[in-house]
Protein backbone atom coordinates (compact mmCIF):
# COMPACT_ATOMS: atom_id res chain seq x y z
CA UNK A 1 0.00 0.00 0.00
CA UNK A 2 1.42 3.39 -0.91
CA UNK A 3 0.31 6.75 0.39
CA UNK A 4 -1.32 8.92 -2.28
CA UNK A 5 -0.37 12.47 -3.10
CA UNK A 6 -2.87 14.72 -1.29
CA UNK A 7 -3.48 18.45 -1.01
CA UNK A 8 -6.24 20.37 0.79
CA UNK A 9 -8.16 22.83 -1.41
CA UNK A 10 -9.79 25.43 0.83
CA UNK A 11 -12.97 27.22 -0.21
CA UNK A 12 -13.58 30.76 1.04
CA UNK A 13 -16.37 33.16 0.10
CA UNK A 14 -16.85 36.47 1.97
CA UNK A 15 -13.96 37.95 3.94
CA UNK A 16 -15.73 40.29 6.31
CA UNK A 17 -18.01 40.48 9.35
CA UNK A 18 -20.91 38.04 9.60
CA UNK A 19 -24.20 39.87 8.99
CA UNK A 20 -26.85 39.43 11.66
CA UNK A 21 -29.55 36.98 10.63
CA UNK A 22 -27.73 35.71 7.55
CA UNK A 23 -28.89 32.29 6.35
CA UNK A 24 -25.33 31.60 5.27
CA UNK A 25 -23.29 33.09 8.10
CA UNK A 26 -20.80 30.24 7.82
CA UNK A 27 -19.66 31.69 4.46
CA UNK A 28 -18.40 34.85 6.19
CA UNK A 29 -14.84 34.61 7.52
CA UNK A 30 -13.60 37.74 9.26
CA UNK A 31 -10.23 39.26 8.29
CA UNK A 32 -8.86 38.48 11.75
CA UNK A 33 -9.92 34.83 11.36
CA UNK A 34 -8.24 34.60 7.95
CA UNK A 35 -5.10 36.19 9.34
CA UNK A 36 -4.94 33.66 12.21
CA UNK A 37 -5.60 30.76 9.85
CA UNK A 38 -2.83 31.72 7.44
CA UNK A 39 -0.48 32.47 10.32
CA UNK A 40 -1.14 29.00 11.73
CA UNK A 41 -0.58 27.34 8.35
CA UNK A 42 2.71 29.16 7.96
CA UNK A 43 3.81 28.18 11.46
CA UNK A 44 3.04 24.56 10.56
CA UNK A 45 5.41 24.85 7.61
CA UNK A 46 2.67 24.93 4.98
CA UNK A 47 2.45 27.38 2.14
CA UNK A 48 -0.66 28.65 0.40
CA UNK A 49 -0.69 28.22 -3.37
CA UNK A 50 -2.94 28.75 -6.39
CA UNK A 51 -4.96 26.07 -8.17
CA UNK A 52 -2.39 25.79 -10.96
CA UNK A 53 0.49 25.29 -8.56
CA UNK A 54 -1.45 22.91 -6.34
CA UNK A 55 -2.68 20.83 -9.26
CA UNK A 56 0.88 20.46 -10.52
CA UNK A 57 1.98 19.28 -7.09
CA UNK A 58 -0.96 16.87 -6.86
CA UNK A 59 -0.04 15.29 -10.18
CA UNK A 60 3.73 15.21 -9.72
CA UNK A 61 3.81 14.12 -6.09
CA UNK A 62 4.36 15.97 -2.80
CA UNK A 63 7.29 18.33 -2.45
CA UNK A 64 9.43 18.96 0.57
CA UNK A 65 7.08 21.59 1.99
CA UNK A 66 3.35 20.82 2.50
CA UNK A 67 0.99 22.97 0.44
CA UNK A 68 -2.61 24.07 0.70
CA UNK A 69 -4.60 25.54 -2.20
CA UNK A 70 -6.52 28.71 -1.33
CA UNK A 71 -9.63 29.46 -3.41
CA UNK A 72 -12.17 32.29 -3.13
CA UNK A 73 -15.54 31.82 -4.82
CA UNK A 74 -17.71 34.46 -6.50
CA UNK A 75 -15.22 37.34 -6.72
CA UNK A 76 -16.51 39.47 -3.87
CA UNK A 77 -14.77 42.82 -3.65
CA UNK A 78 -13.61 42.00 -0.13
CA UNK A 79 -11.45 39.27 -1.64
CA UNK A 80 -9.32 42.13 -2.94
CA UNK A 81 -9.73 44.69 -0.17
CA UNK A 82 -9.60 42.37 2.85
CA UNK A 83 -8.07 39.04 1.78
CA UNK A 84 -5.31 40.23 -0.54
CA UNK A 85 -3.36 42.24 2.07
CA UNK A 86 -3.44 39.22 4.39
CA UNK A 87 -2.34 36.85 1.65
CA UNK A 88 0.56 39.14 0.78
CA UNK A 89 1.58 39.50 4.43
CA UNK A 90 1.96 35.74 4.73
CA UNK A 91 3.50 35.28 1.28
CA UNK A 92 0.64 33.08 0.04
CA UNK A 93 -0.99 32.81 -3.40
CA UNK A 94 -4.63 32.09 -4.20
CA UNK A 95 -7.18 31.60 -6.98
CA UNK A 96 -10.40 33.61 -7.22
CA UNK A 97 -13.29 32.10 -9.19
CA UNK A 98 -15.12 34.95 -10.96
CA UNK A 99 -18.69 35.28 -12.23
CA UNK A 100 -17.72 36.93 -15.50
CA UNK A 101 -21.05 38.50 -16.39
CA UNK A 102 -21.54 40.24 -13.04
CA UNK A 103 -18.19 41.90 -12.41
CA UNK A 104 -18.71 45.33 -10.89
CA UNK A 105 -22.27 44.38 -9.93
CA UNK A 106 -23.50 42.37 -6.95
CA UNK A 107 -24.40 38.78 -5.98
CA UNK A 108 -27.62 38.71 -8.01
CA UNK A 109 -27.96 34.93 -7.54
CA UNK A 110 -28.83 35.63 -3.88
CA UNK A 111 -31.57 38.16 -4.65
CA UNK A 112 -34.88 37.31 -3.03
CA UNK A 113 -33.55 34.97 -0.35
CA UNK A 114 -32.76 37.59 2.28
CA UNK A 115 -28.99 37.25 2.04
CA UNK A 116 -28.22 40.88 1.23
CA UNK A 117 -26.21 42.52 -1.53
CA UNK A 118 -22.44 42.25 -1.68
CA UNK A 119 -20.27 44.07 -4.19
CA UNK A 120 -18.30 42.05 -6.72
CA UNK A 121 -14.89 42.96 -8.09
CA UNK A 122 -14.69 45.44 -10.94
CA UNK A 123 -12.38 45.00 -13.93
CA UNK A 124 -9.83 47.24 -12.20
CA UNK A 125 -10.08 45.17 -9.04
CA UNK A 126 -9.36 41.96 -10.94
CA UNK A 127 -6.39 43.61 -12.63
CA UNK A 128 -5.04 44.54 -9.18
CA UNK A 129 -5.57 40.96 -7.98
CA UNK A 130 -3.62 39.63 -10.96
CA UNK A 131 -0.90 42.25 -10.60
CA UNK A 132 -0.33 40.95 -7.06
CA UNK A 133 0.57 37.55 -8.51
CA UNK A 134 -2.77 35.89 -7.83
CA UNK A 135 -4.79 33.68 -10.20
CA UNK A 136 -8.34 33.77 -11.55
CA UNK A 137 -10.68 30.96 -12.55
CA UNK A 138 -14.21 30.80 -13.93
CA UNK A 139 -17.39 30.46 -11.90
CA UNK A 140 -19.69 30.75 -14.98
CA UNK A 141 -21.23 33.88 -16.50
CA UNK A 142 -24.20 34.40 -14.16
CA UNK A 143 -23.89 31.78 -11.36
CA UNK A 144 -26.85 29.57 -12.37
CA UNK A 145 -27.61 26.03 -11.25
CA UNK A 146 -25.95 24.42 -14.24
CA UNK A 147 -27.57 21.04 -13.67
CA UNK A 148 -30.98 22.65 -14.26
CA UNK A 149 -30.08 24.17 -17.65
CA UNK A 150 -30.32 22.51 -21.03
CA UNK A 151 -27.04 21.55 -22.66
CA UNK A 152 -26.79 24.62 -24.89
CA UNK A 153 -27.40 27.06 -22.05
CA UNK A 154 -24.98 25.27 -19.72
CA UNK A 155 -22.32 25.17 -22.44
CA UNK A 156 -22.70 28.92 -22.98
CA UNK A 157 -22.29 29.66 -19.27
CA UNK A 158 -19.16 27.51 -19.07
CA UNK A 159 -17.48 28.43 -22.37
CA UNK A 160 -18.33 32.13 -22.61
CA UNK A 161 -17.12 32.85 -19.09
CA UNK A 162 -13.69 31.41 -19.87
CA UNK A 163 -13.50 33.23 -23.20
CA UNK A 164 -14.52 36.56 -21.66
CA UNK A 165 -12.06 36.38 -18.79
CA UNK A 166 -9.18 35.42 -21.07
CA UNK A 167 -9.98 38.28 -23.46
CA UNK A 168 -10.44 40.87 -20.73
CA UNK A 169 -7.32 40.08 -18.74
CA UNK A 170 -4.95 38.41 -21.18
CA UNK A 171 -4.40 35.36 -18.99
CA UNK A 172 -5.13 31.68 -19.43
CA UNK A 173 -8.14 30.54 -17.40
CA UNK A 174 -7.64 26.85 -16.68
CA UNK A 175 -9.87 26.16 -13.67
CA UNK A 176 -13.63 26.10 -13.11
CA UNK A 177 -15.79 26.07 -9.98
CA UNK A 178 -19.34 24.73 -10.25
CA UNK A 179 -21.88 27.36 -9.09
CA UNK A 180 -23.66 26.14 -5.95
CA UNK A 181 -21.45 23.04 -6.29
CA UNK A 182 -24.00 21.50 -8.67
CA UNK A 183 -23.04 19.32 -11.60
CA UNK A 184 -24.05 16.22 -13.55
CA UNK A 185 -21.98 13.87 -15.74
CA UNK A 186 -23.07 16.00 -18.71
CA UNK A 187 -21.86 19.17 -16.98
CA UNK A 188 -18.48 17.60 -16.30
CA UNK A 189 -18.14 16.67 -19.98
CA UNK A 190 -18.93 20.25 -21.00
CA UNK A 191 -16.26 21.64 -18.69
CA UNK A 192 -13.69 19.29 -20.20
CA UNK A 193 -14.78 20.10 -23.77
CA UNK A 194 -14.52 23.83 -23.08
CA UNK A 195 -10.79 23.46 -22.41
CA UNK A 196 -10.52 23.73 -18.65
CA UNK A 197 -7.73 21.79 -16.95
CA UNK A 198 -9.65 21.14 -13.72
CA UNK A 199 -12.89 21.83 -11.89
CA UNK A 200 -13.65 22.04 -8.19
CA UNK A 201 -16.81 21.06 -6.36
CA UNK A 202 -18.27 21.62 -2.91
CA UNK A 203 -17.98 17.93 -2.08
CA UNK A 204 -15.95 17.68 1.14
CA UNK A 205 -12.55 16.08 1.34
CA UNK A 206 -8.85 16.52 0.67
CA UNK A 207 -7.94 16.34 -3.02
CA UNK A 208 -5.73 13.38 -3.89
CA UNK A 209 -3.84 12.13 -6.88
CA UNK A 210 -6.46 9.58 -7.95
CA UNK A 211 -9.42 11.99 -7.83
CA UNK A 212 -11.27 12.82 -11.05
CA UNK A 213 -9.69 16.07 -12.18
CA UNK A 214 -13.06 17.68 -13.02
CA UNK A 215 -14.66 16.75 -9.70
CA UNK A 216 -12.06 17.80 -7.14
CA UNK A 217 -13.30 18.04 -3.54
CA UNK A 218 -12.69 21.07 -1.33
CA UNK A 219 -12.78 21.95 2.34
CA UNK A 220 -15.25 24.72 3.12
CA UNK A 221 -13.82 27.21 5.59
CA UNK A 222 -16.68 27.76 8.04
CA UNK A 223 -16.63 31.22 9.62
CA UNK A 224 -18.64 29.97 12.58
CA UNK A 225 -15.92 27.50 13.57
CA UNK A 226 -12.77 28.25 15.55
CA UNK A 227 -9.11 27.87 14.69
CA UNK A 228 -8.93 24.41 16.25
CA UNK A 229 -11.57 23.01 13.89
CA UNK A 230 -9.86 24.71 10.95
CA UNK A 231 -6.53 23.04 11.76
CA UNK A 232 -8.28 19.71 12.26
CA UNK A 233 -9.72 20.04 8.74
CA UNK A 234 -6.51 21.09 7.04
CA UNK A 235 -3.77 19.34 8.97
CA UNK A 236 -5.23 15.91 9.70
CA UNK A 237 -7.17 13.13 7.88
CA UNK A 238 -10.30 14.14 9.86
CA UNK A 239 -12.45 15.21 6.87
CA UNK A 240 -11.45 12.22 4.75
CA UNK A 241 -12.21 9.74 7.52
CA UNK A 242 -15.44 11.53 8.31
CA UNK A 243 -16.63 11.19 4.71
CA UNK A 244 -15.31 7.67 4.14
CA UNK A 245 -12.37 8.54 1.88
CA UNK A 246 -9.44 6.09 2.22
CA UNK A 247 -5.92 7.18 3.04
CA UNK A 248 -4.02 4.73 0.87
CA UNK A 249 -3.90 3.64 -2.74
CA UNK A 250 -4.42 -0.05 -3.44
pLDDT at residue 175, as a whole number? 98
Q: What global pTM score does this model have?
A: 0.93
pLDDT at residue 4, as a whole number? 57
pLDDT at residue 242, as a whole number? 75
Three-class SS of the chain: CEECCEECEEEECEECCCCCCCCCHHHEECHHHHHHHHHHHHHCCCEEECHHHHHHHHHHCCCCCCEEEEEEEECEHHHHHHHHHHHHHHCCCCEEEECHHHCCCECHHHCCCCCCCCEECCHHHHHHHHHCCCEEEECCCCCCCHHHCCHHHHHHHHHHHHHHHHHHHCCCCCEEECHHHCCCHHHHHHHHHCCCCEEEEEEECCEECCCCCCCEEEEECCCCCCHHHHHHHHHCCHHHHHCCCCCEEC
**Low-confidence stretches of the chain (pLDDT beneath 50):** 1-2, 248-250
pLDDT at residue 84, as a whole number? 98
**Tens digits of per-residue pLDDT, 156-167?**
999 999 999 999
pLDDT at residue 2, as a whole number? 43
**Tens digits of per-residue pLDDT, 23-70?**
788 999 999 999 999 999 999 999 999 999 999 998 887 667 899 999
pLDDT at residue 244, as a whole number? 66
CA distance 248 to 214: 21
pLDDT at residue 239, as a whole number? 77
For domain 2-249, say whether CATH 3.30.1370.110 is its number. Answer: no
pLDDT at residue 250, as a whole number? 35
Amino acid sequence: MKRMSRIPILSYHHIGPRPTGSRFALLHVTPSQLDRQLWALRRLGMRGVSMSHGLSSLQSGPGRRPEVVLTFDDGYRNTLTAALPILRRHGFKATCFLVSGLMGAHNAWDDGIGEGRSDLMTLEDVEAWLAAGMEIGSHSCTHPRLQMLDEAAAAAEIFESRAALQKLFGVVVDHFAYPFGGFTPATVKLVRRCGYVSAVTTQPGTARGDDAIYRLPRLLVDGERGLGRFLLQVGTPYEDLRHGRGLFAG
